[in-house]
Amino acid sequence: MLFYYVSMIESGEDQRKFARLYENYKYTMMYAASQILHDQFLAEDAIHQAFLKIINNLEKIDESNVPKTKAFLVIIARNTAKDIYCEHYGRKDDDKEISLEDVEDLSDVYHERSVESQVMEQYDINKLVKTIEALPEIYSDISVKVFSRLERQQNRRAAGVVV
């Protein structure tokens, strides 16, 4: 399959760059897509489409920052899998997509955890916020206060302050 993708790229340096990305991250991307789709064939379709997107955006990928590169590719795989999920199952997905800026924020906060778990946590937080926003105003105000308090406690623990 790698030969197919590489044949679509003109520059020799870009071909080598893509080959490195493909070899280093194809299984991680497949895992991310499988977690959403729960179907091996659909996950393979998602990864195929994700790699086509990567080819079109190869100049945006900086291999020197490995955690950021890995997170960026996982985000592409996850978002592509979400699109396929919606197409295949006929459900509209209103969840916020995770941006590259979110990944940069994650890498500063969570040093010991894998990028995949960081991205998954950010995705879960986005879903939680969306759920809170859908609550009646009286409940959402209370939920936001509790959520903010928990977040402050977590930040204090991370800084080594006794809570």
Give the CATH number of the domain where residue 57 resides: 1.10.1740
Q: How far apart are CA 84 and CA 45, in angstroms?
A: 8
Residue 156: C-alpha distances to residues 50, 52, 151, 159 (Å): 38, 42, 9, 5
Residue 77: C-alpha distances to residues 18, 52, 63, 138 (Å): 15, 11, 17, 37
The whole-number pLDDT of residue 4 equals 75
Same domain membership, residue 77 and residue 15: yes
Same domain membership, residue 69 and residue 7: yes
Q: How far apart are CA 52 and CA 108, in angstroms?
A: 29
Same domain membership, residue 68 and residue 103: no
Number of structural domains found in the chain: 2
- Which among 60, 93, 126 is the end of a domain? 93
Q: Give the single-character DSSP code of 111.
A: S
Range of the domain at 74: 1-93
Q: How high does pLDDT run on average in the chain?
A: 76
Same domain membership, residue 43 and residue 118: no
Q: How far apart are CA 52 and CA 61, in angstroms?
A: 14
Same domain membership, residue 120 and residue 74: no
Which residues of the chain are modeled with pLDDT < 50? Answer: 93-94, 96, 106-111, 163
Reported as half-sphere exposure (CB side, CA atoms, 13 A), residue 14 has a value of: 15
The whole-number pLDDT of residue 108 equals 47
Same domain membership, residue 153 and residue 125: yes
Q: Which residues contact 36 (CB under 8 A, 6 or more apart)?
A: 46, 78, 81, 82, 85
Same domain membership, residue 107 and residue 70: no
The whole-number pLDDT of residue 67 equals 84
